[in-house]
Structure 1
Amino acid sequence: MLSLFQNMKERRTVLCLSAAALLWCGIGSPAAEAARVTGLREAYGAEAASAPLSKEALLPARRELYEQISAATGIPWFRFAAIDQYERTIAKKAKHTPAPSPAASARLTDIRIPDPIWNGPLNPDQSDTSPASIRFFGGLGRDGSGDGLAEPENDADVLYSVAGHLLSYGNSASDFSIAVWEYYHNGRAAQRINQFAKLYEHFGRLDLSGSAFPLPLGNLYSYRSTWGTGRSWGGARIHEGTDLFAPHGLTVRSTCYGIVETKGWNRYGGWRIGIRDIENRYHYYAHLTGYDKTVSRGDIVSPGQTIGWVGSSGYGKPGTQGKFPPHLHFGLYKDRGLTEWAFDPYPLLKQWENQEYRALKNKKKK
């Protein structure tokens, strides 16, 4: 696989030339096909190595792949990245799933297109790799690497096929949203992918793994694991989060790179705010006394950014305050595509707190 990503300057030059022909002639035309075969064969070579990339090389290689297909199709790289990341975060493993092949293990992307969609639902050969017959039966699969085959485990073929679907609806932001919905037929999937694309476009990079503790470090707060304890107000339920007790008005910070998904009153959480990160986790901050005025729904935030202040709001109609001591209720929810479920945030809170303490100590040493 490492052989695919050498001689970057030469490959980019070839791909830029092929991209010009593709965009001028359109995907699927003879001239576009010739340019694509020449450019992508130069970029990827005839065969891919079976060994996967190291963790350090993975993100740059993945970004390189997105940009290559972007140059060949005119679709912004961050849209491919968003679809790929969404596929990476949803549940897809079924019982008795066979072990992945070496080619699948070495892939850069995680987009898995079901056989009936790739080959066409009426195609009698659901392992078909012929671009012509796949197209005849209305399948999505295309040859993106120039080897004459449309293979669902070939990253270039997969992304080029995705590009064909997207471009069939147009290349604007609204066209992209429609194309994504038409593929997944799931409004939440379309929302997540658009959120991820916005994050990647804003920060201009794939690595959005930074984090921060939700409160300023110090001795002004205390917390312990309260996951699963009983709650009675509003009906029998369990505590889906961790309570961090702190003085009224203490700063509450974003724990992640993310996009503000919800903001406003919730009768259980009072003034609350919800932020979606690139791992498809929903960070929930409740019982605030107020919000930072610069933060609105749809805005992008970074770790450590002020989003509000500790309070005691909630357990009633809008404006209800003081029914319990001031604290921040912090929750984490994971969207797996079909369902979204809460999980205990306490281990991550301790991890973020310790990481921030270590970073401060290292900074003082310097």
Structure 2
Amino acid sequence: MNFKLIRTSLITFVLCFHLLPQFIFAEDNTEDKEDVQKMALYKKTEAITHIPWYYLAAIDQFEKNTQKETASEQLISIKIPDEKWYGIGNSIHNNSIVWISLFSGFGQDGDGDNLADPTNDEDILYSMAHFIEKFGNTKKDVKIALWNYYQRDLNVQTIMNIAKVFHKFDTITLEANDFPIPLQHNYSYKNTWGDARGFGGRRIHEGTDIFANYGVPVKSTTYGVVELKGWNRYGGWRIGIRDIYNRYHYYAHMNGYQEGIEVGDIVEPGDVVGSVGSTGYGPPGTSGKFPPHLHYGMYKDDGYSEWSFDPYPYLRKWENQARNR
């Protein structure tokens, strides 16, 4: 028997067994480490400017969700237009803070090198915080600053909602989702996005219908804030939730709402928001014109416009994840 070979194999096995979890966890935690670095930068900027970190994080998240290209390839996604950063008239794009100041530019020096680099994470975040700081650091002040910067109500509302979620959970790592119907109930669905609809004129079906019995609980699929609640002649009793990825989740034809849920409330995956019904296609209270089901729609906003997209792949993914938990 070759004891030397056996001994070598055992040592190799033990080393692999010991190191494998480290490799696995290192890979799994890559994004978490990035989030930790971002949080450190948000809180450093907060300490300097007194702008709460969750507002800075929300602006960064909003920009990440809307920008085709980000300013930095490292951490921060905020992209400030060159004419705003350098100042109108600074055509050579000199990034000296003295030069930018002469042209009333937006850019500031966040890392102490006397330069305002629009691709430097610390400079970008400090510049945005410095801009907000001129208006103040209260919630109202931040909203005014955001309006002056973005000039669009939905952008301001979305950023403020993302900030609420980050503040409540004290983290930016919020990646969980859930299927909107409890798996123990009988339900069925297929891809119905884009199908023709007749009520109210010719239009397409902007969602997926999940058929279930009256009163089956309807759950939030995401972290977000309740943006809309009430009657719609098409959707009946419906509720809308805006998540931290600039997506609007639309739950319609419900039988009713979870007691106490109101516009402005923060929800997380699995929170019950209402129950399955067959309301809609008429004035308030109209019900029974079709079998009970949940109409689930998703809409994306890019900072300029909003459009419907197919939620079916997401529902399948979330359903499978829920089954494997």
Same fold (TM over 0.5): yes
**Residue 114 (str. 1) matches residue 90 (str. 2):** no
SS, match of residue 324 in structure 2: helix
Question: 2: CA distance between counterparts of 1:121 and 1:184?
Answer: 18
Say which of 281, 284, 289 aligns to 1:315: 281
C-alpha separation between the residues in 1 aligned to 2:129 and 2:140? 15
Q: Secondary structure at the match of 1:104?
A: coil
Question: What CA deviation, in whole Å up to 9, does each residue of 1:257-312 have, x standing for no partner?
Answer: 11000000011000000001101111110000100122100000111111101000
Q: What does residue 86 of structure 1 align with?
A: 62
| 1:91, distance to aligned residue in structure 2 (A) | 4.2
Question: 1: distance between equivalents of 2:172 and 2:190?
Answer: 33
Instruction: State how far apart, in whole Å, the 2-side matches of 1:108 and 1:202 are.
Output: 23
Shift of 1:111: 0.4
1:239 alignment partner in structure 2: 205
Between the aligned partners of 2:260 and 2:175, the Cα distance in structure 1 is 23
Q: Report what 1:71 is aligned to.
A: 47
Give the gaps of 5 or more residues in structure 1. Answer: 1-52, 94-99, 360-366
The equivalent of 2:187 in structure 1 is: 221
- The residue correspondences of 1:201-220 to structure 2 (distance < 5 A) are 201-220=167-186
* Equivalent residue number for residue 288 of structure 1: 254
Question: Aligned ranges for residues 1-366 of structure 1 at < 5 Å?
Answer: 54-92=30-68, 104-105=72-73, 107-125=74-92, 127-359=93-325
In structure 2, what is the Cα distance between the partners aligned to 1:134 and 1:237? Answer: 51
For residues 56 and 199 of structure 1, the distance between their equivalents in structure 2, rounded to whole angstroms, comes to 18
CA distance in 1, matches of 2:244, 2:106: 27
Deviations 1:59-100 (A, max 9, x none): 11111110111111111110110110110111445xxxxxx8
Q: Deviations over 1:151-175 (max 9, x none)?
A: 0001111111111110111111101
What is the alpha-carbon root mean square deviation over aligned residues? 1.4
| CA–CA separation in structure 1 for the residues paired with 2:144 and 2:135 | 7
1:188 Cα deviation from its structure 2 partner: 1.3
| TM-score, structure 1 normalization | 0.79
| CA distance in 2 between partners of 1:158 and 1:338 (Å) | 22
Task: List structure 1 segments (4+ residues) > 4 angstroms apart after TM superposition.
Answer: none
The separation in 2 between residues aligned to 1:56 and 1:158, in whole angstroms, is 22
What CA deviation, in whole Å up to 9, does each residue of 1:210-231 have, x standing for no partner?
A: 1111011035111111111110
**Alpha-carbon distance, 1:123 to partner:** 1.9
Task: Give me the whole-angstrom Cα distance separating, in 2, the residues matched to 1:332 and 1:185.
Answer: 24
1:54 to partner: Cα distance:
4.1
Identical counterparts, % of pairs: 52
Structure 1 residue 237: Cα displacement: 0.6
Look up the equivalent residue of 1:111 and give its one-letter code: I
Per the alignment, residue 10 of structure 2 pairs with none
How far does residue 317 in structure 1 lie from its aligned partner after superposition?
Answer: 0.7
**Partner amino acid, structure 2, of 1:341:** W
Letter in 2 for 1:83: I
Please, which runs of 5 or more residues in structure 2 have no aligned partner?
1-28
Residues of 2 paired with 1:104 and 1:187: CA distance? 26
Distance, in Å, in 2 between the alignment partners of 1:200 and 1:293 is: 24
